[in-house]
């Protein structure tokens, strides 16, 4: 056992280095000029200052905006689905949740191409409109198409999280509400909805954060000119070869994500803390 | 006393199993009624049917002579204290108690006033802003009672409300519940499997087993004159003996005839006989009606619990005087201590 | 309330269509020939038969192989880390798990580029070797590089899952083992490890499944010629424009994933079922 | 009886709080010793120190006169039945019980034989292949006992093992545990907060409060001659009265002098007096030593519990004869029923 003990510290040190080094490299790139290598270093803040140019800030704002809309639409569409499923029989619940989660296991790329064939100028919707003698609608390469693709991709996660929160809701609270004179609508407003909020928050984490930085969906449904922050990072690395600027942007994104994580977690902890304190009291 | 609630032939089936087999029961105004029975006997189901959370398969419920079988829970003038309290974890003490009043859209002033009164009643003044999840078990219990009582129901249902508390606190709360019932002067219907709790608090005890009522009566009735073996065994420790009636006032068991105070049985009818451990006296072998040897003698505080081996069976005897194991003794009991009961079909 | 009731069924129907239609389209493409549209359909099994060509099967096997190695390496590296963290003080645990999970919030693309700068022929490792006067090692565009990139990307998920299982282990079971004469090693072998298996299995789900179908990491670290199943699908859609064949491959992948999900879940359920049955018994 | 275990000035500090304040205690071979006290009194900590799961801050433990303070848990000849059983959820009944024997690398035959013997002892033959998570609370409890006993320890520690069971099952298991202890003939150290449990099973009771031993004695000693107010109050219901000694064999309280059997106190020393509710007789007002009015009379099965209001305080009286509330009565008790105790510094 003592030899095992002695190995703990070096092992953790090596794992730490393994995990940290690429992070440090990203930071290094972000704060240095192009063409440097580790030996001849020139530190600079230019990469960050460049980002605060109005063009890039606009891209960031557009990304945040689309991600926000996606999240809201996912909540609006997903909550009723989760609520209805949670109120069916146990067996139906399992089956329906299985159906809802199947798209999660299909490659995003493939799902997005399926939407192209629905939305494109000679796609399913427009073929259908033509049959009805109506004028075609341009849907591809619009905000609508991008948002639709994102909602489709992330909706199952939102439904899953809200459903989980609703499924573990204590039924006796609903009995209690009933007992105290509340009708179904009042029980939903005052008991079920407030207690499912933690699920909505986990859902937001799982939808908002990845939709801010996704690049596959906007590229395919938004077209080559459609630029969100994920595409911007991808371009800097792959097309332009500007690793330094790309690293700086991804650091900025990581900060935004960590800050929003902090706030949602804090909100969640405020609630669960009550539970924890109770534990302590009982001990 | 006016009849407030009437159950008429209530039957409940779950997945093909009969949980309640035709319950007929009347409950009066201002009574403290306890539904007593082992777990799974159907007592909680009966309470939940009255509360409106479960529908009966057959039968009717009347409340002040009006049938309420189809009235939904939220329209019944009944409130419930749930087994695990079912307090709303996202609200503080005040909002939990005020919930029912908010729903009834009462004015802020009235809500404030009523909730404060309730907080005083259950001894939780100053706790209004605490989150309920931060309270101890006993405090949560009080909030649950206050939340139900603040609506001024005509009936309060309590579903094993003290089960989660520890011994000392449970005894305290028993007295407090009884006190509250007297103060607010409404009907309490209380479900428990603890016979001590039932004896301490109730005006009327309804003993239930296997979905059927076994006996209805005051605590004294139930304890002193159990109607069958199940009730005798469930309420306190007992010596239960099979025997038969020779004639009125004479019963035979263990190959001996005994005088008793029971009559009206058929001649030679098989019966069950109960003799409470505290009704048996230890005497000298010559003076005893039965002879035996003391096998064990355990100190229980108020009394010693002895096991006395006689020719046919071991008797449990409670006595305040110690006698050492191994000694031969006589057992003595008076005719009025022999309780003769009809035999049960099933047990 | 009754108007709400009446809306439930049409709402669920529409949501069902929204969720199912792209799935159906993928199935449709997989079973039809190229150049078809919805009106002039030619059904075929060719897309599937084509896959069973030795070239594509080799790609599949290679993908499964790399994913398997990635998963095993993640378990071997991740388990000790999770175990050591779970045995530190509560506060240290929170801090260390935060550090471990930070890389999860950085774009995969960016993390992978960081590895390129470590592994490339004039990267950090080779610069270091050159300083020591040693010959450079070619690491880029090898299985080693791809596996390293995958391990780095998925390791935090494995650690997180194993840690969660270990953290919720009942301490009194360890006391009981101790009480019955087991030393630390025996307690680990007979109690801690078997009871942490559910965490290892969730970890496997979170590592193996995405690493089978990832395409970013093999493309960057394996080079343009390096072909895993994710790259194959990407190529079919983007480069070759063979949507039908691409759809068929992604359906085959979905089947493989669902089957392996089924088995891991079954394994997990066998364990949790005991718990459920207990509940029923106590009710 | 030989001394098996000796605690010498055991002190335990958690986060700056003194949980045990210098415990000195000897435990003999083959004794059934109960550590009794309210929750948080330190009784479980003392047990866990003996088991080796917690280190004491100060003091020494001796086992057969050899210090074991630094011996790790897995090397102590002691086994434990944990509070929530701590059965291994991934093993069946057989493997749980065989765990200790496997660790000791005993042969398959011997393991099979010993486990089967244990299964019979705890009445679980035929359950060997069941997963422990499928068992009821009472069955899990038996597996936990078998798993500990199969190692043939010299001491078995039991940490509130019956806390999770319901009333009826708890009483059954009490008798069974006592029976098992007699059969295997080893020392049992039992932790509980339930005074009834302690009285029923123990050879020796150690009453603990606030990390200090309050009294050590047989159940009869503890019940009949509590050493202080805490013990009197904790063991059974009591009337506890403040008074002072006038001289040997004479005590004064409620402005009256009473004869008693206690002596050796200082003159005028303030004391606490205990009179058990069952030792007070209800007599006519003229015959009584104190006069009072009956305020309530609750049927408790064996006895009525009455609250009698006298000039200075309410007395609790247990009697088998009913007297109606409101009636004026006298209270009578004998000199030997007055238990005089030293006042506690803190309570």
Interface residue of B168, B302, B316 to substitute, partner D, most D CBs within 10 Å: B302
Which pLDDT score, from 0 to 100, does residue D94 have?
Answer: 96
User: Does residue D253 share a domain with residue D183?
Assistant: no
Query: For the residues of B57-106, what is the DSSP string, one character each?
Result: SEEEEEETTEE-TTS-GGGSSEEEEBTTB---TTSBHHHHHHHHHHHTT-
Task: Please enumerate in sequence order all residues whose Cβ is within 8 A of that of B3, keeping only pairs 6 or more positions apart, or say none.
Answer: B26, B27, B28, B29, B65
- Show residues of chain B in contact with D298, CB under 8 Å: 200
- pLDDT tens digits, one per residue of A63-111: 999 999 999 999 999 999 999 999 999 889 988 988 888 888 888 889 9
- Show residues of chain A in contact with B75, CB under 8 Å: 181
Would B131 be classed as within a structural domain?
A: yes
CATH code of the domain covering residue D258: 2.40.50.140
Burial grade of C186 (CB within 10 A; 0-12, 13-18, 19 or more): middle
Alpha helices in chain D (DSSP H): 43-51, 93-103, 108-121, 137-149, 167-184, 195-201, 219-224, 229-234
ipTM score: 0.79
Lowest average pLDDT, out of B247-261, C261-275, D215-229, goes to: C261-275
- In the structure, what pLDDT confidence band is assigned to residue B299 with cuts at 50, 70 and 90? confident
Residue found by looking up tokens 């003076």 in the block: B287
User: Does residue D68 share a domain with residue D211?
Assistant: yes
Alpha helices in D56-107 (DSSP H): 93-103
Whether A79 has its CB under 8 Å from any CB of chain C: the answer is no
Residue found by looking up tokens 């189901």 in the block: B45
pLDDT exceeds cutoff 70 at A231: yes
Q: Are B68 and B61 in contact (CB under 8 A)?
A: yes
Q: In what order do the strands lie in the sheet with D304-310?
A: D281-283, D328-332, D290-299, D304-310, D314-319
User: Does residue B215 share a domain with residue B145?
Assistant: yes
Which pLDDT score, from 0 to 100, does residue D162 have?
Answer: 84
Q: B341 pairs with which residues across the strands?
A: B272
User: Does residue D251 share a domain with residue D217?
Assistant: no
Would B229 be classed as within a structural domain?
A: no
Q: At what angle do helices D108-121 and D93-103 cross, to 10 degrees?
A: 130
pLDDT exceeds cutoff 50 at A278: no
Measured CA to CA, the distance from residue D266 to residue D342 in angstroms comes to 10
Residue A94: name the closest of B222, D38, C269 by CA: C269
Which pLDDT score, from 0 to 100, does residue D238 have?
Answer: 85
The enclosing H or E element of A159 equals helix A143-167
Best mean pLDDT range from B176-180, D33-37, D303-307: D33-37
Residue B179: name the closest of B149, B154, B219, B151 by CA: B149
- In this prediction, what percent of chain C has a pLDDT beyond 70? 91
Would B90 be classed as within a structural domain?
A: yes
Which chains have 3+ CB pairs within 8 A of A?
B, C
Whether C273 has its CB under 8 Å from any CB of chain D: the answer is no
pLDDT exceeds cutoff 60 at C113: yes
Residue of B nearest to A178 (CA): B74
Q: What is the mean pLDDT of residues A147-160?
A: 95
Measured CA to CA, the distance from residue C175 to residue D49 in angstroms comes to 12
Q: What is the mean pLDDT of residues A38-58?
A: 83
What would the two tokens of residue C283 be?
């009710």
Give me the half-sphere count of Cα atoms (radius 13 Å) on the Cβ side of residue B120. 6
CATH code of the domain covering residue D147: 3.40.50.300
Question: Could you say which of D202, D224, D246 is where a domain stops?
Answer: D224
pLDDT exceeds cutoff 90 at D172: no
What would the two tokens of residue D202 be?
């123990």
Strand B32-36 with B187-192, pairing: parallel
pLDDT exceeds cutoff 80 at B139: yes
User: Would you call A23 and C103 a contact, using CB atoms and an 8 Å cutoff?
Assistant: yes
User: Does residue D155 share a domain with residue D250?
Assistant: no
Measured CA to CA, the distance from residue A196 to residue A81 in angstroms comes to 13
pLDDT exceeds cutoff 50 at A275: no
Q: Choose the closest CB to D86 out of C176, C277, C281.
A: C176
Which pLDDT score, from 0 to 100, does residue D144 have?
Answer: 94
pLDDT exceeds cutoff 60 at D25: yes
Measured CA to CA, the distance from residue D220 to residue B301 in angstroms comes to 7
User: Would you call B301 and D39 a contact, using CB atoms and an 8 Å cutoff?
Assistant: no
- In the structure, what pLDDT confidence band is assigned to residue C270 with cuts at 50, 70 and 90? low
Please write down the HEC assignment for all residues of chain C: CHHHHHHHHHHHHHHHHHHHHHHHHHHHHHCECCCCCCCCCCECCHHHHHHCCHHHHHHHHHHHHHHHHHHHHHHHHHHHHHHHHHCCCHHHHHHHHHHHHHHHHCCHHHHHHHHHHHHCCCCHHHHHHHHCCCCCCCCCCCHHHHHHHHHHHHHHHHHHHHHHHHHCCCHHHHHHHHHCCCCHHHHHHHHHHHHHHHHHHHHHHHHHHHHHHCCHHHHHHHCCCCCCHHHHHHHHHHHHCCHHHHHHHHHHHHHHHHHHHHHHHHHHHHHHHHHHHHHHHHC
- In the structure, what pLDDT confidence band is assigned to residue A52 with cuts at 50, 70 and 90? confident
Residue of B nearest to A179 (CA): B74
User: Does residue B291 share a domain with residue B216?
Assistant: no
Q: What is the mean pLDDT of residues B50-76?
A: 93
**Is the Cα dihedral B257, B260, B266, B270 positive or negative?**
negative
Q: Are A267 and A273 in contact (CB under 8 A)?
A: no
User: Would you call A274 and B133 a contact, using CB atoms and an 8 Å cutoff?
Assistant: yes
Which pLDDT score, from 0 to 100, does residue C2 have?
Answer: 56
**Structural domain count, chain B:** 2
pLDDT exceeds cutoff 70 at D290: yes
- pLDDT tens digits, one per residue of D83-128: 889 999 999 999 999 999 999 999 999 999 999 999 998 889 999 9
- In the structure, what pLDDT confidence band is assigned to residue D327 with cuts at 50, 70 and 90? very high
The torsion angles phi and psi of B36, rounded to 5 degrees, stand at: -115, 135
Which pLDDT score, from 0 to 100, does residue D345 have?
Answer: 57
Q: What is the mean pLDDT of residues D206-230?
A: 92
For the CA atoms of A12, A15, A19, A22, the dihedral, rounded to the nearest 10 degrees, stands at 120
The enclosing H or E element of B171 equals helix B167-184
Which pLDDT score, from 0 to 100, does residue D212 have?
Answer: 94
Measured CA to CA, the distance from residue A94 to residue A85 in angstroms comes to 9
Would B230 be classed as within a structural domain?
A: no
CA distances from C218 to B159, C116, C122 (A): 62, 12, 20
Would D230 be classed as within a structural domain?
A: no
Q: Supply the mean pLDDT for chain C.
A: 86
- The 3-state DSSP class for residue D11 equals strand
User: Would you call C100 and A19 a contact, using CB atoms and an 8 Å cutoff?
Assistant: yes
Burial grade of A184 (CB within 10 A; 0-12, 13-18, 19 or more): middle
User: Would you call D100 and C278 a contact, using CB atoms and an 8 Å cutoff?
Assistant: no
Measured CA to CA, the distance from residue A124 to residue A93 in angstroms comes to 32
Measured CA to CA, the distance from residue B289 to residue B291 in angstroms comes to 7
Q: Are A252 and A260 in contact (CB under 8 A)?
A: no
Give me the half-sphere count of Cα atoms (radius 13 Å) on the Cβ side of residue B126. 1
Cβ within 8 Å of D, C 77-136: none
pLDDT exceeds cutoff 90 at A54: no
Burial grade of A271 (CB within 10 A; 0-12, 13-18, 19 or more): middle
Measured CA to CA, the distance from residue D308 to residue D155 in angstroms comes to 47
Contacts 24+ apart (CB under 8 A), D43-48: D43/D191, D43/D193, D43/D208, D44/D83, D44/D159, D44/D160, D44/D191, D45/D12, D45/D19, D45/D20, D46/D7, D46/D10, D46/D12, D46/D20, D46/D208, D47/D80, D47/D157, D47/D159, D47/D189, D47/D191, D48/D159
User: Does residue D265 share a domain with residue D204?
Assistant: no
pLDDT exceeds cutoff 60 at C273: no
Measured CA to CA, the distance from residue D347 to residue D343 in angstroms comes to 9
Whether A42 has its CB under 8 Å from any CB of chain B: the answer is no
User: Does residue B295 share a domain with residue B158?
Assistant: no
Q: What is the mean pLDDT of residues C10-29?
A: 89
Cβ within 8 Å of C, A 126-145: 127
pLDDT exceeds cutoff 80 at C271: no
Measured CA to CA, the distance from residue D295 to residue D284 in angstroms comes to 16
Residue D176: name the closest of D212, D124, D130 by CA: D124
- The 3-state DSSP class for residue B15 equals coil
Whether C77 has its CB under 8 Å from any CB of chain A: the answer is yes
Would D26 be classed as within a structural domain?
A: yes
User: Does residue D34 share a domain with residue D180?
Assistant: yes
Would B39 be classed as within a structural domain?
A: yes
CATH of A54-282, one of 1.10.1510.10, 3.30.465.10, 1.10.3720.10, 1.25.40.80: 1.10.3720.10
Which pLDDT score, from 0 to 100, does residue C283 have?
Answer: 29
Which pLDDT score, from 0 to 100, does residue A281 have?
Answer: 32
CA distances from D61 to C176, D52, D252 (A): 21, 10, 44
- pLDDT tens digits, one per residue of A232-256: 998 888 888 888 899 999 999 888 8
Domain ranges, ordered by start, for chain A: 54-282
- Show residues of chain C in contact with A99, CB under 8 Å: 16, 19
Task: Please enumerate in sequence order all residues whose Cβ is within 8 A of that of B186, keeping only pairs 6 or more positions apart, or say none.
Answer: B30, B153, B154, B155, B156
Please write down the HEC assignment for all residues of D232-260: HHHCCCCEEEEEEEEECCEEEECCEEEEC
Would B83 be classed as within a structural domain?
A: yes
Whether A169 has its CB under 8 Å from any CB of chain B: the answer is no
Residue B233: name the closest of B202, B205, B272, B271 by CA: B272
**What is the DSSP-derived secondary structure letter of residue D150?**
T
pLDDT exceeds cutoff 90 at D299: no
What would the two tokens of residue C71 be?
């998963």
- In the structure, what pLDDT confidence band is assigned to residue B195 with cuts at 50, 70 and 90? confident
CA distances from B95 to A171, A260, B87, B117 (A): 19, 31, 10, 14
User: Would you call D80 and C179 a contact, using CB atoms and an 8 Å cutoff?
Assistant: yes
Lowest average pLDDT, out of A119-128, A253-262, B125-134, C265-274, goes to: C265-274
Which pLDDT score, from 0 to 100, does residue C149 have?
Answer: 95
The enclosing H or E element of D58 equals strand D58-63
- Show residues of chain C in contact with D100, CB under 8 Å: 180-181
- The 3-state DSSP class for residue B256 equals strand
Strand D339-342 with D270-275, pairing: antiparallel
Measured CA to CA, the distance from residue A232 to residue B119 in angstroms comes to 61
- In the structure, what pLDDT confidence band is assigned to residue B60 with cuts at 50, 70 and 90? very high
- In the structure, what pLDDT confidence band is assigned to residue D237 with cuts at 50, 70 and 90? confident
Which pLDDT score, from 0 to 100, does residue D225 have?
Answer: 87
Task: Please enumerate in sequence order all residues whose Cβ is within 8 A of that of B113, keeping only pairs 6 or more positions apart, or say none.
Answer: none
User: Does residue D211 share a domain with residue D84?
Assistant: yes
- Rounded to a whole number of angstroms, the CA Rg of chain A reads 24
Q: Are B162 and B183 in contact (CB under 8 A)?
A: no
Measured CA to CA, the distance from residue D39 to residue D35 in angstroms comes to 11
Domain that holds residue D176: 3-224
pLDDT exceeds cutoff 70 at D39: yes
- pLDDT tens digits, one per residue of C152-163: 999 999 999 999
**Is the Cα dihedral B319, B325, B329, B330 positive or negative?**
positive
- In the structure, what pLDDT confidence band is assigned to residue C274 with cuts at 50, 70 and 90? very low
User: Does residue D242 share a domain with residue D201?
Assistant: no
- Show residues of chain B in contact with D39, CB under 8 Å: 166
User: Does residue B249 share a domain with residue B182?
Assistant: no
């Amino acid at each position: 056992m003592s030899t095992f003990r002695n190995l703990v510290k070096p092992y953790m040190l090596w794992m730490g280095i393994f995990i940290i080094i690429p992070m440090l490299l990203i930071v290094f790139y972000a704060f240095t000029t192009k063409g440097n290598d580790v030996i001849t270093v020139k530190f600079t803040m230019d990469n960050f200052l460049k980002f605060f140019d109005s063009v890039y800030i606009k891209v960031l704002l557009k990304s945040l905006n689309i991600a926000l809309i996606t999240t809201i639409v996912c909540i609006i569409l997903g909550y009723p689905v989760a609520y209805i499923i949670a109120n069916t029989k146990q067996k139906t619940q399992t089956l329906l949740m299985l159906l809802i989660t199947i798209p999660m296991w299909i490659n995003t790329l493939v799902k997005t191409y399926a939407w192209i064939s629905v939305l494109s100028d000679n796609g399913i919707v427009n073929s259908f409109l033509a049959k009805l003698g109506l004028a075609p609608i341009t849907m591809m390469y619009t905000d609508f198409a991008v948002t639709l693709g994102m909602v489709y991709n992330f909706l199952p996660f939102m439904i899953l999280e809200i459903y989980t929160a609703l499924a573990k809701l204590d039924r006796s609270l609903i009995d209690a509400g009933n007992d105290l004179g509340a009708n179904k609508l009042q029980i939903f407003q005052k008991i079920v909805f407030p207690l499912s909020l933690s699920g909505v928050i986990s859902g937001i984490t799982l939808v908002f954060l990845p939709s801010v930085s996704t690049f596959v969906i906007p590229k395919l449904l938004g077209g080559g000119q459609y630029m969100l922050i994920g595409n911007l990072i991808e371009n800097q690395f792959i097309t332009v070869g500007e690793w330094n600027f790309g690293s700086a942007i991804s650091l900025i994104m990581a900060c935004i994500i960590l800050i929003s994580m902090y706030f949602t977690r804090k909100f969640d902890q405020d609630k669960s803390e009550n539970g924890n304190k109770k534990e302590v009291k009982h001990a | 006393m006016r009849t407030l609630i009437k159950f008429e032939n209530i039957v409940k089936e779950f997945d093909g199993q009969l949980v309640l087999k035709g319950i007929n029961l009347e409950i009066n105004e201002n009574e403290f009624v306890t539904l007593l029975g082992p777990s799974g006997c159907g007592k909680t189901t009966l309470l939940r049917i009255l509360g409106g959370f479960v529908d009966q398969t057959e039968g009717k419920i009347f409340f002040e002579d009006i049938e309420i079988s189809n009235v939904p829970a939220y329209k019944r003038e009944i409130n419930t204290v749930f087994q695990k309290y079912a307090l709303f974890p996202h609200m503080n003490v005040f909002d939990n108690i005020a919930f029912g009043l908010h729903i009834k859209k009462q004015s802020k002033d009235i809500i404030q006033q009523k909730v404060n009164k309730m907080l005083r009643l259950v001894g939780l003044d100053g706790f209004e802003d605490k989150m309920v999840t931060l309270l101890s078990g006993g405090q949560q219990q009080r909030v649950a009672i206050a939340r139900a009582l603040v609506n001024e129901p005509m009936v309060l249902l309590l579903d094993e409300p003290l089960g989660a508390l520890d011994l000392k606190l449970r005894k305290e709360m028993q007295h407090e519940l009884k006190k509250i019932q007297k103060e607010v002067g409404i009907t309490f219907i209380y479900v428990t499997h603890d016979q001590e709790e039932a004896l301490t608090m109730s005006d009327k005890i309804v003993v239930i087993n296997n979905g059927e009522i076994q006996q209805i009566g005051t605590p004294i009735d139930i304890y002193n004159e159990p109607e069958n073996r199940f009730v005798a065994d469930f309420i306190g420790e007992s010596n239960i003996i099979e025997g038969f009636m020779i004639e009125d006032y004479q019963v035979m068991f263990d190959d001996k005839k005994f005088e008793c105070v029971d009559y009206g049985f058929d001649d030679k009818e098989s019966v069950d006989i109960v003799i409470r451990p505290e009704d048996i006296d230890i005497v000298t072998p010559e003076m005893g009606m039965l002879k035996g040897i003391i096998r064990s003698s355990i100190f229980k505080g108020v009394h010693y619990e002895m096991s006395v081996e006689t020719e046919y069976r071991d008797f449990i005897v409670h006595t305040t005087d110690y006698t050492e194991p191994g000694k031969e003794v006589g057992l003595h009991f008076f005719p009025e201590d022999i309780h003769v009961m009809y035999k049960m079909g099933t047990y």
